[in-house]
Amino acid sequence: MIYPRLQFLTQFLKYPRTIGSITPSSSFLAKAMVTPVSWEDTEVVVELGAGTGIFTKYIEQNMKPASRAYIFEKNLPLQKKLKQHYPAFSHYTDAKNMSAVLCETGEKSADVIISGLPFTVFPKELTTQIMNEVIKSLKPGGLFITFQYSLHMKKRLQADFSTIELRFVPFNIPPAFVYICRK
């Protein structure tokens, strides 16, 4: 348990503009991120910014055996660990290529996209590019679930999605808001 935290802190110190926290998300936050998903109806799930794999672990535990998971992690040392721990999942580097990846693999769209990306530390242009990919890749009625440490993204998400539900997770460092967005 200490190794993933140390690895995450090391990567945060090296890349503070792409790693949004000094510590990985808590299991409380991970559970809040996966609980809204109707796993019986989920064939294709995408995870953005998988980090040390805390959400990936819960995705693997909940998804049906025939479902497919596509994991995006730009940080290569973290991605290497994810590939070792989750070899059955498809691994990619850049979320800006999500729709192309899904198309190349024969997927029409994703049922669920779960994001651990720190949008508030990204340049506005990058956030816009990734959110455009989310909208393009998500099926009608699909879920986009993300978390942030503030309500900064709320207006943006309200413009892009038909419904948004907010949940507060106090047992995380720092406490977080989970956005559950339906297309």
Note whether residue 5 is domain-resident.
no
Q: Enter the pTM of the model.
A: 0.89
Q: Residue 40 sits in a domain of what CATH number?
A: 3.40.50.150
Let me know if residue 4 belongs to a domain: no
How many structural domains are present in the chain? Answer: 1
Q: How far is CA 93 from CA 72, 96, 148, in A?
A: 5, 9, 21
Distance between CA 36 and CA 142 in Å, rounded?
A: 12
**Per-residue confidence in pLDDT tens, the chain, 183 aa:** 445 555 544 544 554 555 444 456 689 999 999 999 999 999 999 999 998 899 999 999 999 999 999 999 998 888 999 999 999 999 999 999 999 999 999 999 999 999 999 898 889 999 999 999 999 999 999 999 999 999 999 999 999 999 999 999 999 988 999 999 999
Give the residue numbers spanning the domain of 151. Answer: 25-182
d(CA 13, CA 47): 23
Residue 19 belongs to a domain: no
* Continuous segment of H or E residues that includes residue 30: helix 27-34
